[in-house]
Amino acid sequence: MQNSIKEFSTVETRAKALAKANLVRGQRKEVYESIKNGNTTADRILFNLDNEYEFMKRVPVKRFLKAFKGISTQKADTIIKEVGIAEGRRLQGLGKLQKTNLILAIEQYQW
């Protein structure tokens, strides 16, 4: 009897996690589209990670940069090196100065 309870709990937990992951993916997709269309700015996202854009915290900086028009993979790598950000860094791990420098670099490189 105890095995069936444990299995149900695991299946239920996985289902909840999958639903949450799908929700976050959908929210991120909307933000990426908004960035591409020019409706959302980098500073709005980077300085509201604890509030409005909490679901963007775990996004790698490189993926975030590639969402902007005119920033390719190579340009994203260049920006990351210029700003002094570690290769695998996520948005939540950026300091205030790094965020400010990243915003300036995005403005310089995007169309």
pLDDT tens digits along 7-55: 557 888 999 999 999 999 999 999 999 999 999 999 999 999 999 999 9
pLDDT classification of 6: cutoffs 50, 70, 90? low
Q: What's the whole-number average pLDDT of the chain?
A: 91
The architecture in CATH of the region 2-109 reads Orthogonal Bundle (1.10)
The pTM for the full model equals: 0.84
Q: What is the mean pLDDT of residues 57-63?
A: 97
Per 3-state DSSP, what percentage of the chain is helix, strand, and coil (rounded to 5)?
Answer: 70, 0, 30
d(CA 40, CA 106): 13
Q: Domain segments of the chain: what residues?
A: 2-109
The answer on pLDDT for 1 being more than 50 is: no
